[in-house]
Each structure stands twice: as structure tokens, then as C-alpha cells.
Amino acid sequence: MNLAVSLTPREELIPGAFALCDVVRHNESLVSGSGPIDVTTPPDQWAYAIAFPYRRPSASGAHGEVLLVRVEAEVHAGRIGVGCVSSDFQNYVGTQVDCTPGDGSAVLKLPLRHFSSANGGWLVVRNTAEGNRPSRATVRSIRTFRTAASRIPDLVESEPRPIPAVGPAQATRSRSRRRKSGRFRIALTHTSRTWDWSRCTRRDMIRRYSDPKRLLNLPPFEELPPPPTHLYSGGLSLLDLAVDADEVNLMAVRSVESAFKVQHATVVGARLVLCFENFLVVLPTNDAPLESLDLRPGSPWRIDDNWFSGLHTVFPVSDDICLVSSSGSDAVMWVDLRTRKVIRRWRLPADIYGVNYELTPAMSVSRHYIHNEIQLGHLNCAYPEGNGGCYISTLAQGDIGHVDEDGRYSLLARGYVGCHGVRVAHNGRDIYFSDSCSGRLMRLEPDGSVGKWWSVNSRWLHDVEQADSDLYVFCLGDRNEVALVDVSNGEERGRFAFDHCGLNVQFVSVARNDQEG
């Protein structure tokens, strides 16, 4: 997915917004040529390799108009990311587009808002390959085109495409019970973020988070920079899942591309609530039009809060209240959609998780981002339990915990470092979560023990959600696949690939269950 495809190019600007001859080398990268430019990046992932300063176009009528920058590049080894950043290199002002050797000689399309001054920003090429290895690429041209747009759309509707089935990956263990059938509406989010496998192993996360001194000698809260903006784009697919005795079909009924990373989506009452990294967006219905949607701060569609930073999940508590998890604040927040306010908030307790900053509601973590390495636990899911409390999961310690209606906390399980997506099963008794690093669906037993419920061939099982009493939807992040598993019959009923989206599957929710069989 790429929002730039929604922009219609007009005449080319000559000179354009960027020029190959202006190339600036960064971080001791190896650069040769002036057009085309061959570059070998530094080995560090995310390190800038080369940059091109912004040249304010002088063409009449171009000022204030969205430009379309086309970068022709070919990657010979590794992976690069190309995007536009602010003059201080701290924030992306548009989405980054990745390129790999499999893309061949590709034309990367980047929508660009005008910078405020002649030296207002840069076009950058950086290394996005994991494993501490450099990438090699050739940049052949950079061209700039006018468009008819006055702003880059935040959300764009695209034509739903067929979802290829790739078949079950595990043999059936038993078919002694009757197979389930049903019709389900599923909301699946996608992200342009790729996985850094060197930092996704349980061993590496234990190393990163087990240092007892990591929360000491922190900089003052007011000196923390804001989170990076527009680093990743994303998308949302609304899917119809039809499960019959002998057949499983998955069909996209709505595909939405987003300039911002969509973390999660759910239905609250009749509303469709989209959870972005630093704000919520509320649509009146699943099929509400997107043409007039404006996601900038102050928009009537948005809900903001000082603690909205590194948001991960959103779940309905009632027809008007939803529950939001925040990794940046290590907090759970209850949000009233009628008043558009946080009505209750809870943080990981200091006696178990330590202290980084003594947050108050007036302290803006959305302006002073508490990044991953100094978070208390990277709280990545909060799920309501029906009695005014919730269950939570943390990435850093691999904890599953319970918060009661009075804010008292009980630690239920620990050690599943990298886990995601704790939830309560439909029976109101079973607690389950994704052991992401091991590709396992885990169940918390009444006696406090944890057992494996199902295992898939994934080294990053990002999320799992129950569809009915026996059927579960698995999001295999590393494979960009969704699997449907009947845990009672012990069989994988179907598997579907999402490579056609150009983005990776992330979080899932079953938005509607029409019937069960």
C-alpha cells in the first residue's frame, strides 16, 4: 500500500525538490557517482546513509500544493528506507518506503508537503536491514511532480483484492467432534514496519530489559524528545470470514490505507474505533465514508490525551466506553466516547516494575516520549474483564496481570518475554495470550499454571483472537499470514497470505459474529 498512488501527477518540476548532485554522505557510508549514485550504507539498522537537501520549487502555482517525489532505486543487498525528514533529521514528514532486492529497479513514490523554508528538510536513504549488515543500492533518479492535491489524504479507500489461501500448515490431529461453522466480520490492521529479527528474540529482549540499572540516571522528563512522526504507514482490512464444515473463505470487503500506523481497530457500540500510535479516531459506523476525514490535531474525528503515546490496543467496555493500552505511558486508560475524555487511568505499579517518571495527567508523554528502553514494561494490551477491571500483558517481563475495579494489581504469570494480546475467552473463564517469540497460543489455567493451547510455525506471532468457542484467528507477523485454528478439534482450518497489501499483518479483532454453528 502507498498513499502516493491516490495522487495524480501533473507536470514535472524542473528543477525538482531534490537533486542527485546535492548528495550529502552520512555515517561514513560509501558513496560513488553523481547520477546514478551507488551507496553502501553503514551496518547499523536505521542509520542514515545519504541525504538530499530540499530545494524550494520556484514554479508558479506549486507553492502550497502537494508534490509527488519519484525516486528510482535498486537494492543489490539488504534493505533501504527512503523518506523525507525535517531539517534536524528528527522527524519524518511523510511515510518511509522500503525497498529490497526483490523489488528490482523500483520507482518509489513519496507524497511531499511543502517545507516552510528553502532548507526546510531532507530526502534521506537509510539502512533498514537487520543483523548489523550494510545494504548496497543505486539511486538512479529523483523527479518531482505537481499534483492537483492541496493536502495528502490521511486515509484512502482502495479496491479490496482477493486474499490467496495458502492452505493449512499442520495436519489434522482429530476430527472426532463436529466442525464449527459461522460467519464473522474481522478487523485486521497492517503496518509498513518490518521486523528487526536481531531484537525480536526472547534472548535479546531479556538482555535489553533485565539490566537493573536501566531506569537509573534518566534525563529529565522535559528533555525527552517527542516520538518520531510518520515513520510508518499502515492500513486496515475489514474481512468477512465464512466457515463451513468443509470450507473456509476469507474475503476483503473494505481496504483502507493510512498515512499513519494503524495499531488496532474495534467496534464500540455501532462505532468503528481506530487506534493509532498517539491518538484514537472514531467513525460512526463500519462503512462511514473517508473522503472528508482529517486526522490532524484538533480534528473532530480524533481523541487525544497526554498519555496517548505508543498506543497498542483498543477494546469495548460498553457501548460508549473503550479500554486503551499505552506502552509509552505503561498505562491503561478508560475512554468515554461521548465526552471524548479519559475517565480513568492506571499505570504499572512501582513496587513491581520500578519507577522511570512519576507521571501525572498533566504530563504529556505524547510530547516527551518515554522510549522502549526506559519503559517500565512496554504494556501492550489491556482487555476488559467485565467487572470494572482488566487483564494486561507486558512485553519486557512477559507478564500477565489483572487490575481490579479499585486499581489493585495481581501478577498472574511471568516469563513469557515478548508476549502480546492477553484476552478473556468467550466462556468468561479462560485467559489466553500470544507467546510471540515462540509462535504459541497460551492459556492461563485456574490453578495459575500456563499451558500451550496451540503452536504455529511463526517466530513472531503478533496476535490471536477468538472467533467463537473453538475457532481462533492467528496473526503470523513474520510470515504475513492469518491462520484459522479449531483448537478443540486440533486442526488448522485455513491459512491466508497478505503479501499483496505490501504491509505486514499486526493486530486482529472479531468485529461481528453473525452466527455460530
pLDDT in tens, 57-80: 765 556 667 888 999 999 999 989
In angstroms, rounded to a whole number, what is the distance separating the alpha carbons of residues 348 and 441?
24
Q: Are 412 and 420 in contact (CB under 8 A)?
A: no
CB-based burial of residue 476 (10 Å sphere; 0-12 exposed, 13-18 middle, 19+ buried)? buried
Q: For residue 171, what pLDDT is reported?
A: 44
Whole-number pLDDT of residue 76: 96
Is residue 289 helix, strand or coil? coil
| Single-letter code of the amino acid located at 516 | E
| Omega of the bond leading into 15 within 30 degrees of 0 (cis) | yes
CA distances from 104 to 84, 133, 231, 337 (A): 22, 20, 23, 46
Question: Can you give the pLDDT at residue 505?
Answer: 93
* Domains of the chain: residue spans and CATH: 3-151 (2.60.120), 156-478+497-516 (2.120.10.30)
Cell of 287: 462503512
Distance, in Å, from the CA atom of 54 to the CA atom of 110, rounded to the nearest integer, reads 14
Q: What is the pLDDT of residue 177?
A: 61
pLDDT of residue 61: 54
Residues of the chain where predicted confidence (pLDDT) is lower than 70: 1-6, 58-64, 114-119, 168-178, 195-196, 229-231, 502, 512-517
Helices (H), 70-212: 202-209
290 close to 254: Cβ distance less than 8 angstroms: no
**pLDDT computed for residue 147 by the predictor:** 85
pLDDT number for residue 20 = 95
Where do the H-state alpha helices sit in 17-97?
none
49 Ramachandran zone, left/alpha/beta (phi>0; psi -120 to 50): alpha
